[in-house]
Amino acid sequence: MMNKEQKKNYITEMTNQFENSKAVMVTHYQGLTMPQLDELRSKMREHGIVFKITKNRITKLALEKTKCKDLSNLFNGPTAVAFGEDAIMSARILSKFAKDNENLKLIGGMMENEVLDQAGVMNVANLPTLDEARANIVGILNASASKLVSILLARSEKMSTLPPENSEKIT
């Protein structure tokens, strides 16, 4: 049981987490073992994501003062939240872990200021990360440039091998 001071600190901490995170993913974790939770936390921590088990009643109080107040209805039952800067990475790690561990359920979240339902979180999980998108764009640009160069080289080779059209015969 928390005393008043601990509750106040918890509300302040959670309010800061909700306000300062660009990505918030809400899950239900009932049935996961401590080693499974530790494994998930470890994977999340590698990407700068905080995975925290919440106290629903007090967390709802913290939510009231934040941009994430629309997530309040998700906080019932055994709830845990992932706070991070990259919604795609958070959703991807959680969805992959949920596939391997049926006891983890993704129930919703928030990306920037957009509320996501369960299907929205799964859609975000399938998006390419910023680095993957950049690599795809560079690949497309590189392929286009290579094609352009090969076309120009082929034209110049043809031009150098063609006989002159208007050459006069000298007799």
Is the pLDDT reported for residue 169 higher than 60?
no
pTM over 0.95? The answer is no
Q: What is the mean pLDDT of the chain?
A: 84
Question: Mean pLDDT throughout 151-170?
Answer: 60
| Three-class HEC string of the chain | CCCHHHHHHHHHHHHHHHHHCCEEEEEECCCCCHHHHHHHHHHHHCCCCEEEECCHHHHHHHHCCCCCHHHHHHCCCCEEEEEECCHHHHHHHHHHHHHHCCCCEEEEEEECCEEECHHHHHHHHCCCCHHHHHHHHHHHHHHHHHHHHHHHHHHHHHHHHCCCCCCCCCC
